[in-house]
Amino acid sequence: MTEKLNKKIAYDVLRVRLGQIIINEEYKKGNFKIPIHLAFGHESIAVAISNIMENDDKLILSHRNMAYNLAREGSLKPILDEYFLKPTGLMKGQFGSMNLINPSKGVIYSSSILGNNFSVAVGTAMAQKIMACDGVTLVLGGDGSVEEGSFHESLLMFKSLKLSGMVIIENNGWSMSTRIQERRCPLDLEKFLMSYDIKYEKLDGNDPYNYIKKLSNLRKISLETHEPVCIEVNVTTLGDWRMKTPEFPDGKFINYHAGPTPSIDIKNYPNIIRENNEDPLFVMKKYFEQSEFDEMSNEIKNEITKEIS
Amino acid sequence: MKYIEFINNLIKKEVSEAENLILFGQNISAGSCLGGLTRDLSVSNNSKIINSTNSENSLCGFGFGLMMNDISSIFFMKQLDFLLLGIDHLVNTFNVIRNTQFKNSVSSFTIFPITVDNGFQGPQSSLNNFADFCSIARIPGYTITNKIDAEKIISSKLISPGFRILSISQRLFKEEIISPDELVYTNDDNSIFQYTQGNDVTVVCFNFSFPNGWDLHNKLKKLGMNVSLFNVNSPTPSGWEKIIADVNISKKLIVIDDSKSENVACNSLIEQIQNELILKKKIVIKRILSEDWVNPVSDIMIIDSENIYNELLD
């Protein structure tokens, strides 16, 4: 990877992070009428996916699509305006957040319904095959969506119809306020996919450079073999906080699902949110000197401030 | 010719002439081919027939995915109640599509389920009200009941830009298809058909009750009564003006709806007529369900035409 590309990825991650911080600040002020799912901690996988996409690729997202849409669009204002439901929004204020698409950048469908989008992806991949299109369909789900029957049905169809596709499962361990172990038995996706003879890859560690390398290779395999691949990526959705109540004087743990998060403040930018690999900025920062990282952070801050002012 | 043979022939013609069309569904080219509905289909070289997995929800999403990417398709389905598994897509996915550039798509997606309305099918035949599916998201939907509407609807709707559901009645499969003598009127959308015109009484049929209405029409005619006979093929028609104008002349209305659901489409027409006209006679024939209505029992709707004739004379 060239130094130029190396920096571009870092800029992308910083842009998605700061974009979300600004959206969160507006959200805290009560300036949105629509429900929004922030995706702090999802920046690396979103930037990696966006960077491996080619012109003919199609991306199909879920309700927590913010990081991907920010990464694909490359600027905040059209998305911010969309959330404000303004005519100047990315989709003229007609889509809001959970269903936000961006057809000119390959994002053709986003569903607010768990597991709904997998089968639309199969249809899209079938259309690409029929039209002899040199593109791959990428579809995003979470660890909650793999519990839906449509996940299994769609994998079966992907495989049976010999379609190229990348099924990306973001495993953040939670479905709203319920941990996996609180709601179901463990599901070993690798073993499950083995039974379908579908290639499985696990991504962990939030290193966008490592992700890009692996995902590029998987994209190539899928395209060449006309087979789907499934990628399970461990993410931590940051933004949790502790709520003090008489019952919990030290604060009750609140997992972040949707809405504004009080635990992330723009005053702390560009500080990392969590001092470990759960925070993509912590991981990315290791590639740069502190001064260089600060300089890049400031550049992104100036760029976005100018854009939205 | 039998009802199902006639419809099968029309479908064969349409799909054989289409380019880049995907036909899919469970057993559509295997076994009985859905009781003959999809028997002997052949398609052009750039089209496909897929005997699909048993994945109704995903097959609905699959069709929408194809449609969003400019490929037309038809999803043939053995039973209307199987479509319950795809309701998410009928509401959520279709609504998203209607709000995007895909609403102007030239590609077609048609779901073609068979309404299981033979009472001996037991619990699944309780779902015989086609309007239930269409009304949940104002989905264009059309029933096929006789030779004339079959020709009109299949030629104009089976492969046409946009999404819709077409359905046929399993109860009629082995019956000779009804062949009305003439078509007096149909609207642009082919959602309302008029087959006869008469000043004595207006008969309007809903869901799959056209055979009952046709039979009643024939018997009243023999008794010297002139009947205007309408069939409402779509649960969400654009307007009732033509029917109301006819009732305004006859002042006598008979509505027949064979749906077993509580929420029947004919109520909308009855309400509007009552708001606009003063009737001399109104007879509404709906299902009267016995206690064993979810069991496998005969559920043929029997209409006492002589009694109705006498009522009309009162």
Q: Give residue A245's pLDDT.
A: 87
Residue B314 has pLDDT above 90, yes or no: no
Q: Give residue B215's pLDDT.
A: 97
Rounded to a whole number of angstroms, the distance from the CA of B100 to the nearest CA of chain A is: 9
Rounded Cα distance between A93 and A79, Å, is: 9
Q: Give residue A301's pLDDT.
A: 97
Q: Give residue B237's pLDDT.
A: 66
Low-confidence ranges of chain A (pLDDT < 50): none
Q: For B97-141, how does the pLDDT look when each residue is reduced to its tens digit (9 = 90+)?
A: 988 866 777 899 999 999 999 888 778 788 899 999 999 999 999
Q: Give residue B122's pLDDT.
A: 77
Q: Give residue B101's pLDDT.
A: 67
Question: Do B63 and A156 count as a contact with CB atoms less than 8 A apart?
Answer: no
B6-25 mean pLDDT:
97
Q: Give residue A302's pLDDT.
A: 97
Q: Give residue B311's pLDDT.
A: 94
Question: Do B61 and A117 count as a contact with CB atoms less than 8 A apart?
Answer: yes
Q: Does B61 touch chain A (CB under 8 A)?
A: yes
Q: Give residue A2's pLDDT.
A: 67
What's the longest Cα–Cα distance across chain B? 63
CB B225 within 8 A of CB B200: yes
ipTM: 0.84
Rounded to a whole number of angstroms, the distance from the CA of B90 to the nearest CA of chain A is: 11
Question: Do A94 and B99 count as a contact with CB atoms less than 8 A apart?
Answer: yes
Q: Give residue B100's pLDDT.
A: 81
Into how many domains does chain A fold? 1
Rounded Cα distance between B109 and A250, Å, is: 56
Q: Which residue of B has its CA nearest to A95?
A: B99
pLDDT-based confidence at B165, cuts 50/70/90? very high
Q: Which of residues 54-73 of A touch B (CB under 8 A)?
A: 58
Residue B15 has pLDDT above 70, yes or no: yes
Question: Do B55 and A153 count as a contact with CB atoms less than 8 A apart?
Answer: yes
Q: For A225-264, how does the pLDDT look when each residue is reduced to its tens digit (9 = 90+)?
A: 999 999 999 999 999 999 888 888 989 899 999 999 999 9
User: How many Cβ pairs within 8 Å bridge chains A and B?
Assistant: 104
CB A105 within 8 A of CB A114: no
| Mean per-residue pLDDT of chain B | 94
Q: Give residue A229's pLDDT.
A: 98
Q: Does A147 touch chain B (CB under 8 A)?
A: no
Q: Does A85 touch chain B (CB under 8 A)?
A: no
Task: Kindly list the residues from chain B whose CB atom is less than 8 angstroms away from the CB atom of residue A92.
Answer: none
Range(s) of the domain holding residue A240? 3-308
Of B20, B53, B101, Cβ closest to residue A153: B53
Q: For B269-293, how does the pLDDT look when each residue is reduced to its tens digit (9 = 90+)?
A: 999 999 999 999 999 999 988 888 8
Residue B177 has pLDDT above 70, yes or no: yes
Going along chain B from its start, the domains and CATH numbers come out as: 3-172 (3.40.50.970), 185-313 (3.40.50.920)
User: What CATH number does residue A74 fall under?
Assistant: 3.40.50.970
Question: Do B58 and A130 count as a contact with CB atoms less than 8 A apart?
Answer: no
Question: Do B69 and A95 count as a contact with CB atoms less than 8 A apart?
Answer: no
Rounded to two decimals, the pTM is 0.90
